[in-house]
Amino acid sequence: MSASIDKGINALKRQVDATVAAFFSSCVHCGLCAEACLFYTETGDPKRTPINKTEPLRRIWKNEYTLMGRLGKVLGLAKKVDEQLLQEWQELVYDSCTLCGRCSMVCPVGNDIALMIRKTREGMAAAGQAPAGLIGAVTRAVTIGSPMGVKWPALKAQIKHVEEDTGLKVPVDVPDVDYMLLLSSMEIMNFPEFIDAVARLFDKTGVSWTISSEAFEATNSGIQIGVSDIAAELVQRIVDAAEKLRVKTVISPECGHAYTAIRWDGPNLLGKAFSFKVRHILEVLDELRQAGRLKITGKESRKLTYHDPCQIARRGGVINEPRNLIRMFSDNFVEMPDTGKMNWCCGAGGGVSANERADEIRLKVFARKKAQLDAIKPDAIVSACSNCRIHLEDGLEEYNMDIPLLSLTESLAEHLADRDCAGAGRNE
């Protein structure tokens, strides 16, 4: 990935469209976005105001795409985009933004600031101004197939364990099934219970599914760092596998940005609509609930709350499904203040967790989540993103909070009716 300031500027130019121009034209510097951003509220540092993070893109828009800006450029009055600016902005664009999109929900003139920051990253990455941690993750994703360097033998070994534990067959490379399940490296390495849970849930509900040995990685570092070419390459691998196996639907696992990458950005990155559907695992499970196929037994009385992963809820639209599912096994479900589409980010999405330089700030801004949790004092937190889960665990430990974290998919599997009778796999 050769990079230079010229490439960065050209990449930024390619990002300017009618939406960006309308957004920048409308900003009145009211500062409301700052109060919607945990990187400002928890640090009090005004340079972390969301709209300020888009300054490199704003300059390109102004200088190249407005009458007054072009005039200013001729007169030598334009503020330039140079290496120094991008270097200075790295910390704001990558370390201090999780692309959570809360700012985009409160901007009174309607600017989708998170989209503007995402677009700014395209220019930063092309100019070589991205954090080393993210560059490493992207390189591993391209060369090895996973940002954490997880290869097929590792997943194969985990599948073997799952098969031994559940007595079920985990289907691999089975063609013409309904669903192809993707996984995040985090699930494979840290939370293999997720695979276990899906195997049991799909067995009980009679779902035909498979995992592809050629494309099992759902995460997309290209999206996080802001390199569309690489993001497209990673999506293409999934499309090739799904088409080869002729599956009807690809399932995005409990991972936030993976869902955005494959569900919303994927077809646009490739420039063509998919021949299959993409659903989040929670959407699939909620469809099974609606069809009466998901049978749950026993209700928990401990106080549960749900942390909405930003890319799944606010930026993804999966908001009601987790609540429908939690109420199947809980009669004491309590919402945090500011929830659903207005939930506060955990502080580690959008590539922040892959960027070691941001370790300190991501734990600092977790104070916002702590305040939300302190308001309701739950007995356990349910969520549906491995990245949120790892960071929530880190944050809870940092702030000496003893609250267990549950995966929603795994919780459902634990409450499956008749779970002891799980027999052999039923993949037709």
Q: Which residues bind other proteins (CB under 8 A)?
A: 16-23, 25-32, 34-36, 40-41, 44, 46-47, 49, 51-52, 65-68, 104-112, 115, 263-268, 270-274, 277-278, 313-317, 319, 337-338, 341-342
Tokens standing for 33? Answer: 């976005």
Indicate the SS3 state at residue 393: helix
* 112/187 with CB nearer other proteins: 112
Tokens standing for 366? Answer: 């977790």
Dmax (CA) for the chain in angstroms is 78
Bridge partners (DSSP) of residue 304 are 333, 380
CB 217 → other proteins: shortest distance, Å?
20
* 72/149 with CB nearer other proteins: 72
Instruction: Please provide the distance, in angstroms rounded to a whole number, between the alpha carbons at the two ends of the chain.
Output: 44
Indicate the SS3 state at residue 204: helix
* 112/254 with CB nearer other proteins: 112
Rounded CA separation 95/76 (Å) = 32
* 5/242 with CB nearer other proteins: 242
Tokens standing for 417? Answer: 């009716």
CB 149 → other proteins: shortest distance, Å?
29
Rounded CA separation 12/1 (Å) = 17
CB 44 → other proteins: shortest distance, Å?
7
CB 36 → other proteins: shortest distance, Å?
6
CB 317 → other proteins: shortest distance, Å?
3
CB 144 → other proteins: shortest distance, Å?
27
Q: What length does the chain have?
A: 428
* 51/406 with CB nearer other proteins: 51
- For residue 172, which amino acid is it? V
* 44/298 with CB nearer other proteins: 44
Rounded CA separation 208/189 (Å) = 25
* 376/424 with CB nearer other proteins: 376
User: Packing angle between helix 281-290 and helix 320-329, nearest 10 degrees?
Assistant: 60
* 43/427 with CB nearer other proteins: 43
CB 252 → other proteins: shortest distance, Å?
12
Find the angle CA(61)-CA(62)-CA(64) to the nearest 5 degrees: 65
CB 28 → other proteins: shortest distance, Å?
5
Rounded CA separation 362/360 (Å) = 6
Cβ–Cβ under 8 Å, residues 200 and 423: no
CB 196 → other proteins: shortest distance, Å?
29
* 32/334 with CB nearer other proteins: 32
Cβ–Cβ under 8 Å, residues 319 and 308: yes
Q: Chain-centre distance of CA 389, in angstroms?
A: 12
CB 173 → other proteins: shortest distance, Å?
25
* 246/302 with CB nearer other proteins: 246
The DSSP line for 269-297 is: HHTS--SSEEEEHHHHHHHHHHTT---B-
CB 404 → other proteins: shortest distance, Å?
27
* 121/204 with CB nearer other proteins: 121
Rounded CA separation 357/349 (Å) = 14
> Is residue 273 left, alpha or beta, with left meaning phi > 0 and alpha meaning psi from -120 to 50?
beta
Cβ–Cβ under 8 Å, residues 352 and 48: no
Rounded CA separation 167/195 (Å) = 13
HSE value, Cβ hemisphere, 13 Å, CA-based, for 368: 23
